[in-house]
Amino acid sequence: MATQQKIAFITGANRGLGLETARGLGKLGIHVLLGSREQAKGERAAADLKKDGVAQVDAVAFDVVNPDDHRRLAELLEKRFGRLDILVNNAGIAKDDADFSLPDGFNTTSTVSRATLRETFDTNFFAVVALTQTLLPLIRRSPAGRIVNLSSILGSLTLQADPASPIYRAKAFAYDASKTALNAFTVHLAAELSDTSIKVNSAHPGWVKTDMGGPAAPMELTEGGKTSVQLATLPADGPTGGYFHLGERLPW
């Protein structure tokens, strides 16, 4: 059924950064669909958001690495809404054996296994490309489609190559390389869609206190979804093909 209300789908949205992004978008009056591998966890997250004042939120059983789930999601969106306005590719994993608490940093490049590389890229890159390609026909029907790819500052080759950079000694190779590849996807897709109203950007949420970020992270979880929300709701004259953290452009 057609609706004027914006429709957003967020992967990995039952907790952490995905849930905070859903909260931010939902409080702007956007109808949010939470992608969650376990339906029950998604339903609990949706119930919590409703208690917090998010009026329109639904849970969708969704595993980002399952192509059948991509197809089922596209069919659901087609049947219920006829389009998709916002796609937030939030789901991601970090499988490197890296210790962020080491004062002298770490580098997993010579020790990371091929299995870890494949699993990391399957979730953080290949699944994102596949899902976006599947949903793009629905996003093209939106008057102002927005695609947000959850990257990381650790994917910046410029900063990783600079000995003076604060991240220079933090090198989780599989994770970092997957985010660098994701940034390339952002640049390429934005260029392909440059003559449309669709905007595609990479988001660095910051180092946030999540299961992945750990308790030593300086940013609270409530701050972690802000960059994604900003990029998901850009005005018509907003940027595309960029790499941002809280409104500031990051170097590739």
Positions annotated as catalytic residues are: 175, 179
Q: CA 191 from chain center: how many Å? A: 19
**CB–CB of 36/14 below 8 Å?**
yes
**CB–CB of 136/115 below 8 Å?**
no
Q: Which residues contact 37 (CB under 8 A, 6 or more apart)?
A: 61, 62, 63
Q: What is the largest CA-CA distance in the chain?
A: 56
DSSP one-letter string for 135-167? HHHHHTTSTT-EEEEE--GGG-HHHHT-TTSTT
DSSP one-letter string for 160-214? HT-TTSTTTTEE-HHHHHHHHHHHHHHHHHHHHTTTSS-EEEEE---SBSSTTT-
Helices (H), 1-112: 16-26, 39-51, 67-80
Burial 96-119 (b: 16+ CB within 10 A, else e): bebeeeeeeebebeeebeeebbeb
20 burial level (CB within 10 Å; 0-12, 13-18, 19+): buried
- Residue 102 amino acid letter: L
